[in-house]
């Protein structure tokens, strides 16, 4: 490698050199992917037109034990054996002057001081306009083969070493002629695609086409490599068995001494698993975002429902029972109740709905809602119940469990518009994994139309539905999957288009004595007698704040109303006689809990009733435990508000 004089570098100069990165970026002028060559197990090098070494790969530096800076220029020549130096440099000088390819054999000193026999081959490089760019070469240490390999076979042995190294690579390698015909593939290619070398040699790589990329994609790829540029990108290909896989690929053109394109070398890596994990991460992030959106919508919607329900109930008190207007208000309240049920589904999906898990027999839980399920399905759909022969204890919130079963049965009914059969069967599953333990399976199978394959991956997404507009919210399955997962289980399905669908609820089999969930935060209690009291109401929703003020004022309380924490603190400074506080947990500027603490420092400890759409708000737990605080979930009725305020004031007597 290299031409020029016999310059030597002293040790002091060598030690003061600054190391240069092993792998410079690929430049258009070289048409060589140095990053790929840097990983090659054989030695690779580049020289400029003056014969100075400009780059060697990592294998060369590992052999020499030196830096790229020390090897650059003519520095590498000082390690040539003295007996081989003149012959080697003379040959290189002659071939470089003629710009001819060459092969040489010489001894080179390794980093540990031992001289090793090297077979070195170099080729001139040219730009597209014919400009001489220098040389590229490959070399190999053939010392260990000298005793058994004849001189005339040295080149063949180097080729075998290169092929063996390429076959040992984990990435697929394909070499084609300029017309696209495959001339060689490595073992990784055959493993990834299922094709043997004999099945693809002489054929075009288009046999791997999956149809996932259009013709413009392949046209741009082909134009790039025919210009002599390196192409890199991702694409989806098809294996021999027809299955698709995603791979990252780079194609490097190779030119001969005359500058003509002779081969294309493609390096391919199957990245299907990385793509699957990336999609799972994106899906999880999307579900998290949807949960946050659902929680926010539920909070605002509950404020609206609270005002609707409150004003409707107050108006109903002014009307005679049985009157037409009273019946209209009853219908309005029923519709508001359905809206509240929808927000509970949103909160359950967002995991903001309180749960009271307890141990119960899954057979009994299903049997308890069986009559309701049959009424939901009507006369055209037959509901068959197949309980297990033994109790199947599970630990779950009974109301949520019933909600899941009801969602699945309603979906089954809608999949059979002309009638059919729904079978609910329960049995015990013995897990093959000791760490998972036995599980309870509740299967809901229908004889309906089945789930189309193209939507199967989306059925658990929130707000996704295949039902006609107005027939579904797209929350049923998303909420059900969230509830089951919250209980430590899994909701899955199998479907055969045209034959039906089976959804399976899997829950851990409970062990031990039955226990109840944590007690609810709001304790039952009758409203205390309405004593003269000053109530501070802090609520940022205008309609709900006006309703609370009207309800409490009508009951004889003095009400101070605030739309935000700043106004609440102004009231507190002017009215130290405040007896109790009713505040929303979600306020501008500061949260309800922070405001509660600040008010305590301004007017002293006062009993607090916190309201929120979320039943698990962290309202001053110590205060609640001592009886000085209470919690009321939205939406609530005027009667519920009065009862809670009365019970709250009773703590001050």
**Is residue 460 predicted with pLDDT exceeding 50?**
yes
What stretches of 387-454 show up as alpha helix (H) in DSSP? 398-414
| Average pLDDT over every residue of 615-640 | 64
pLDDT tens profile 72-124: 999 999 999 999 999 999 998 888 888 999 899 999 999 999 999 999 999 99
pLDDT at residue 65, rounded to an integer: 95
Per the model's pLDDT, the better-predicted residue between 342 and 137 turns out to be: 137
Cβ neighbors of 42 (< 8 A, separation 6 or more) are: 59, 138, 139, 140, 158, 161, 162, 165
> Domain ranges in the chain?
11-167, 169-270, 280-349, 358-508, 534-650
Give me the mean pLDDT over the 234-244 stretch.
90
- 11-167 and 169-270 have identical folds: yes
pLDDT tier for residue 422 given thresholds of 50, 70 and 90: very high
Backbone torsion region of residue 194, taken as left when φ is above 0, otherwise alpha when ψ lies between -120 and 50, otherwise beta: left
Which CATH number is 11-167's, of 3.30.70.360, 3.30.565.10, 3.60.150.10, 3.30.450.20?
3.30.450.20
pTM of the predicted structure, to 2 decimals: 0.37
What count of residues does the chain have?
Answer: 653
In this prediction, residues 548-552 reach a mean pLDDT of 90
Residue 516 has pLDDT above 80, yes or no: no
**CATH dotted code for 534-650:** 3.40.50.2300
> Is 60 exceeded by the pLDDT of residue 410?
yes
| pLDDT of the residue at 387 | 94
What is the pLDDT confidence band of residue 196, given thresholds at 50, 70 and 90?
A: very high
Q: What is the mean pLDDT of residues 388-401?
A: 88
Q: Is the pLDDT of residue 1 over 70?
A: no
For range 295-314, the mean pLDDT: 74
Poorest-pLDDT segment among 17-21, 161-165, 176-180: 17-21
Q: pLDDT tens for residues 628-640?
A: 578 887 888 888 8
Q: Which of 510, 508, 365, 358 is nearest to 439 (CA)?
A: 508
Q: Output the pLDDT for position 512.
A: 47
Residue 153 DSSP one-character state: G
Per-residue pLDDT at 588: 83
- pLDDT tens per residue, range 7-26: 333 443 333 333 434 444 44
If DSSP codes are grouped into helix, strand and coil, which group holds residue 277? helix
Nearest-angstrom CA–CA distance, 143 and 456: 61
pLDDT value of residue 6 = 35
> What was the pLDDT predicted at 432?
52
Tell which wins on pLDDT, 561 or 292.
561
**Model pLDDT for residues 124-152, shown as the tens digit of each residue:** 998 888 889 999 999 999 887 655 555 55
Q: Which long-range contacts (CB under 8 A, 24 or more apart) does 15-22 make?
A: 17/67, 17/69, 17/70, 18/69, 19/67, 19/68, 19/69, 20/67, 20/68, 20/69, 20/72, 21/68, 22/57, 22/58, 22/61, 22/68
Determine which of 199-208, 222-231, 347-356, 513-522 has the lowest per-residue pLDDT on average: 513-522
**Dihedral sign computed on CA atoms, order 526, 530, 533, 536:** positive
What pLDDT score does 24 carry?
44
Name the class of domain 358-508: alpha beta
Domain 169-270 in CATH 1.10.940.10? The answer is: no
5 pLDDT band, cuts 50/70/90, is very low
CATH ID of 280-349, from 1.10.287, 1.20.120, 1.10.10, 1.20.1690: 1.10.287
Indicate the pLDDT class of residue 64, thresholds 50, 70 and 90: very high
Dihedrals phi, psi of 540, to nearest 5 degrees = -80, -15
Assess whether pLDDT exceeds 50 at residue 345: yes
* 372 CB neighbour count, 10 Å cutoff: 12
Bridge-based pairing state of the strands 534-538 and 500-508: unpaired
pLDDT of residue 578: 92
Report the alpha-carbon distance of residue 127 to residue 139 in Å, rounded. 23
- Say what the pLDDT of residue 79 is: 94
Which H or E run contains 244? strand 244-255
Q: Can you give the pLDDT at residue 270?
A: 87
- Give, for 518, the enclosing helix (H) or strand (E): none
Q: Which of the two residues, 532 and 279, has the higher pLDDT score?
A: 532
Residue 320 CA to residue 316 CA, distance in Å, equals: 8
Strand 439-446 vs strand 500-508: parallel, antiparallel, or unpaired?
antiparallel
Q: What is the chain's mean pLDDT, rounded?
A: 79
């Amino acid at each position: 490698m290299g031409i020029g004089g016999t310059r030597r570098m002293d040790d002091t100069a060598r030690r003061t050199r600054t190391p240069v990165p092993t792998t410079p970026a690929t430049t258009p002028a070289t048409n060589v992917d140095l990053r790929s060559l840097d990983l090659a197990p054989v030695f690779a090098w580049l020289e400029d037109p003056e014969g100075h070494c400009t780059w060697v790969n990592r294998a060369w530096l590992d052999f020499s034990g030196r830096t790229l800076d020390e090897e650059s220029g003519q520095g590498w020549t000082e390690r040539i054996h003295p007996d081989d130096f003149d012959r080697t440099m003379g040959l290189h000088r002659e071939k470089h002057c003629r710009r001819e390819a060459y092969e040489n054999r010489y001894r080179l000193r390794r980093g540990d001081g031992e001289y090793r026999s090297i077979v070195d081959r170099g080729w001139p490089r040219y730009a597209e306009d014919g400009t001489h760019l220098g040389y590229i070469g490959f070399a190999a240490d053939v010392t260990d083969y000298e005793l058994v390999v004849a001189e005339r076979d040295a080149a063949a042995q180097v080729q075998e070493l290169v092929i063996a190294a390429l076959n040992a690579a984990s990435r697929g390698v394909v070499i084609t002629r300029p017309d696209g015909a495959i001339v060689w593939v490595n073992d990784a290619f055959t493993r990834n695609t299922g094709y043997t070398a004999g099945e693809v040699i002489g054929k075009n790589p288009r046999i791997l086409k999956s149809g996932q990329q259009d013709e413009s994609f392949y046209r741009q790829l082909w134009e790039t490599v025919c210009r002599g540029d390196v192409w890199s990108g991702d694409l989806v290909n098809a294996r021999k068995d027809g299955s698709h896989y995603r791979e990252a690929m780079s194609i490097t053109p190779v030119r001969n001494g005359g500058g003509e394109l002779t081969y294309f070398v493609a390096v391919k890596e199957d990245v299907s698993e990385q793509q699957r994990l990336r999609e799972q991460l994106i899906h999880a992030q999307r579900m998290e975002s949807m949960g946050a959106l659902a929680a926010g919508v539920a909070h605002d919607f509950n404020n609206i429902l609270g005002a609707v329900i409150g004003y409707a109930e107050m108006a109903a008190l002014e009307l005679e029972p049985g009157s037409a207007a009273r019946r209209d208000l009853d219908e309005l309240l029923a519709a508001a109740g359905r809206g509240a049920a929808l927000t509970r589904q949103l909160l359950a999906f967002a995991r903001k709905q309180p749960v009271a898990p307890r141990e119960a027999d899954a057979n009994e839980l299903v049997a308890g809602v069986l009559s309701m399920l049959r009424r939901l399905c009507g006369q055209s759909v037959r509901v068959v119940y197949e309980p297990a022969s033994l109790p199947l204890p599970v630990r779950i919130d009974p109301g949520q469990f019933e909600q899941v079963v009801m969602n699945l049965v309603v979906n089954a009914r809608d999949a059979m518009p002309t009638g059919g059969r729904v079978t609910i069967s329960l049995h015990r599953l013995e897990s093959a994994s000791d760490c998972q333990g036995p599980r309870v399976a509740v299967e809901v199978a229908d004889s309906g139309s089945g789930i189309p394959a193209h939507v199967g991956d989306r059925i658990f997404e929130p707000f996704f539905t295949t039902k006609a507009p107005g027939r579904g919210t797209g929350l049923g399955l998303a909420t059900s999957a969230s509830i089951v997962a919250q209980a430590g289980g899994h909701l899955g399905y199998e479907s055969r288009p045209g034959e039906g669908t089976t959804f399976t609820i899997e829950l851990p089999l409970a062990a031990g004595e039955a226990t109840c969930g944590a007690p609810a935060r709001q304790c039952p209690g009758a409203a205390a007698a309405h004593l003269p009291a000053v109530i501070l109401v802090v609520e940022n929703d205008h309609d709900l704040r006006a309703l609370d003020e009207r309800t409490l004022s009508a009951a004889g309380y003095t009400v101070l109303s605030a739309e935000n924490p700043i106004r609440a603190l102004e009231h507190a400074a002017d009215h130290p006689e405040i007896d109790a506080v009713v505040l929303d947990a979600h306020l501008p500027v500061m949260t309800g809990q922070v405001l509660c603490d600040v008010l305590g420092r301004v007017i002293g400890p006062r009993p607090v009733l916190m309201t929120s759409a979320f039943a698990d708000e962290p309202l001053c737990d110590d205060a609640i435990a001592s009886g000085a605080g209470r919690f009321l979930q939205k939406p609530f009725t005027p009667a519920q508000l009065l009862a809670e305020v009365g019970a709250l004031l009773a703590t001050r007597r």
